[in-house]
Amino acid sequence: MEESVTEVKAPEKGKDFLAYYKECFGLKKADAGMYSPLVLAYMGDAVYELMIRTKIVNGGNAQVNKLHKRSAALVKAETQAKIIRALEPHLTEEEMAVFRRGRNAKSMTMAKHATMTDYRTATGFEALVGWLFLAERFERLTELTAMGLREIGEHT
């Protein structure tokens, strides 16, 4: 029996990537509050990494190993911990609660070159990023990420 394939037309001009992606993959709206803090951190890790890689590549063409070194410096636990510490005064109560849940989650792993404190704090940051992404609060996600990078001296 042949499977039915639903064809999705290319997005109309102005239609955003995420809406088109969700349509093509048949994704439903996520309830960000229903995910465990470690699942939020898992998602946030990928989202933040993509944001940083996009920022680095936008700076111009370069050797891949140089791009990797620049992005690795911004995605490591120590840097993420600095970012979230700088952002704490700017977070809403709801955002702080998500951060705390992620920070306090018990993970079975730890980064090789991070202190336990930085690793847990970075996990909280990643949980917040994942939660904002899944809740489709893209403006706030972008605003906080840019602000955090500025606060630690990484101009955006």
Q: Are 126 and 40 in contact (CB under 8 A)?
A: yes
Q: Which listed residue (16, 31, 45, 118) is catalytic?
A: 45
Whether 45 is catalytic? yes
Q: Are 114 and 122 in contact (CB under 8 A)?
A: yes
Distance from C-alpha of 19 to C-alpha of 11, rounded to nearest angstrom: 9
Residue with tokens 């370069």: 62
String of DSSP letters for 63-110: -HHHHHHHHHHHHSHHHHHHHHHHHGGG--HHHHHHHHHHHH---S--
* Catalytic residue ranges: 45
